[in-house]
Amino acid sequence: MFRRRPAEPLERATVPWLLASAVATTAPHVEHQPHWLMAIAGAMLLLGCWLWFSRRGLPPRWLLSLIVVGGSTAIWFEYRTLFGRDAGVALLILFMALKPLEMRSRRDAMVVVMLGLFLLLTHYFYSQSIPTGLWLIASCTLLTATLIRIFGGAQAPAVIVRHAAILLLQATPFMLILFLLFPRINGPLWGLPQDAHSSRSGLPETIEPGTVSNLVLDGSIAFRARFDETPPATPLLYWRGPVMDEFDGRAWRAIRAGNLPLHTPRVEARGTPLAYEITLESHQQRWLLALDAPLTLPSGAVLTARLQAFSREPVRQRSRFAFTATTDYRFGRDDPPAMIDAMRQLPRQGNPQARALAEGWRQKHASPTAIVAEALQYFRRENFVYTLQPPLLGNAPIDQFLFETRSGFCEHYASAFVFLMRAAGIPARVVAGYQGGEVNPVDGFVVVRQSDAHAWAEVWSAESGWQRVDPTAAIAPSRVEAGIATALPAGEPLPALARIDLDWLRQFRYRWEAINNRWNQWVLGYNPDRQRELLRDLGLGEIDWRGMTALLATLSGVLLLAITIWALWRRPPQDAALRLWLAFCARLARSGLPRHSWEGPQDYAARVARERPALADAVRAAADAYVAARYAAPQPRALEQLAATLKLATRQLH
């Protein structure tokens, strides 16, 4: 029957290291987890600090068990499950906050360290940015230092942290080999369907007053574009997203594809093709935000009848797509009549003033071009205001906007313009996307932000097909030419980045975003394609997962051998007396008398004398000779005397 080994008690001075590790690994989750949970976790960790500082006993286990049950129940009510990304992380945070309140042994301390290491991984479920990576490196160093403190005894904190940093530096080459050569897979780090991906999104699927203007205060990056040649001028940068062609009296949305004829558009390029690549942030939709108008698409993408570039699956992680496009084009002249007729449809009733205005234009002008020009002139002439803070609209939003408030954002103008065109009998639709972008002078990428979200119109004629008409340009031309910040009246709210007017701060932002872009391209974007490209550049050609695994194992073995040789070379030479003594102790160990690590030569000799009286004199003589040779003042023949004494004592073991 095996006897259970007693748990080694935990040193009191180790507890602050463990509490600091718990705080470092849980604190960043305050941004993603419910506030009530983080408040409970913070309170539990503060309680642990107070108990340690005041030298009070730990709370009873039954109380902790009640807190675990109550916390788990609350997490279930919050997420309606105890599984998945968010609920699983919440449980880990709860356990990490409570574990320091029952730490009594080294085994408990090891649980805290292991929980901390796992919690570090969970941070990448929510953010994979450079600051997150730096925080994780610092936290991993702290956890490693905590392990050293647990098993290495009392040392100066600076010595412990330096030792931990050296260990991580020694592991860095292995990390690089694993990163570069471990077979890559496409897909998110976390794979459960219900919460595998971020909920972040950009453009809405419907357009109504306020839907686009709500995005303008968001300065986050929607995507980056890198052109092979000089990027087009800002007024030509229209990035096409969802196309809305059905109006219910207030909102525009896309007609279901099954209700339209199947049709592949034919783009007639009249300008020079532009080759470019976009790095698209996750937006949970299938549209790829191609530059109007796309000529070639990435592998697996399709071009819809509305000239939208669609991927097979929603864009759920940062992805790169290569296109060619032209900004001077013509398309849609051969669209089916049924599709064109659908672009004239309006609700039977509503907005009578707008209908009457459009009917007057139709009677006045014979050509669609003249009606379009009349509508744009109307917007210029009637003192419309471009603003992010328009008045709320009621049940007849088009009439109220055109004849009462005359204040709105791009979606107001695009919606009203398309309504007027349809009321005049001209096929028209609303297009949402992004307009413009800022060239980062550091890396040359065109950066398009959520604040560049825009809505415009398209009208159709038999001669020209679909043509873009941007009514916002008639009201605030600077919006299209120079961006949102130049078009809004003074005092309007703007995204923080648009308010930056300091050159040094702007230059810092350029450099920081360029660094982030490199991180995205070469670290987060290191996908199977990039891996195969790297291996080809290294002359390895097309290599399958078996060859990659063999290469990974070989390089790891070579690296381990190199580190071992370096460690042996760096090891200080062993004292001759110590070498002789250790050999003698090994011989005694084979005889059933092993020396404990904490035993000095005299204590070891005394114990051997008690356990084997016949060896007492020989072992004492050996210990005395070793002490004299190792620790006493140097004697000319001390080492020879030690060797002779140990040899004589060894003979008596037989």
Q: Where in the sequence numbering do the catalytic residues fall?
A: 410, 454, 470
265 neighbors 303 (Cβ within 8 angstroms): yes
The two structure tokens encoding residue 67: 């807190």
How far is the C-alpha of 543 from the C-alpha of 533, rounded, in Å?
A: 11
- One-letter amino acid of 542: E
Outline where DSSP puts E strands in 261-376. Answer: 267-269, 274-280, 290-291, 294-296, 302-303, 309-310, 319-325, 329-331
Pairwise CA distance, residues 542 & 532, whole Å: 7
Q: Which of 293, 282, 280, 173 is nearest to 243 (CA)?
A: 293
Q: Is residue 600 left, alpha or beta, with left meaning phi > 0 and alpha meaning psi from -120 to 50?
A: beta
Q: How far apart are the first and last CA of the chain?
A: 34
Kindly give, in sequence order, each residue whose CB lies less than 8 Å from that of residue 162, ignoring residues fewer than 6 positions away: none
Q: Check: CB of residue 467 under 8 Å from CB of residue 458.
A: yes
Among candidate residues 555, 542, 381, 372, the one with its CA nearest the CA of residue 464: 372
Say if residue 256 is exposed, middle or buried (CB neighbours under 10 Å; 0-12, 13-18, 19+).
exposed
Dist. CA 36–CA 38, nearest whole Å: 6
**What residues form DSSP beta bridges with 310?**
287, 302
What 3-state DSSP class applies to 288?
Answer: coil
Return the number of other C-beta atoms located less than 10 Å from residue 450's C-beta. Answer: 22
Count CB atoms within 10 A of the CB of residue 259: 11
Report how far residue 171's alpha carbon sits from residue 568's, in angstroms, rounded to the nearest whole number. 17
Q: Cα separation of 139 and 150, whole Å? A: 16
Find the helix packing angle between 15-26 and 85-98, rounded to 10°.
160
Element (H, E) at 459: strand 453-461
Does residue 197 contact residue 316 with C-beta atoms inside 8 Å? Answer: yes
Cα–Cα nearest to 351, from 392, 401, 386: 401
Q: Cis bond leading into 482, ω under 30°?
A: no
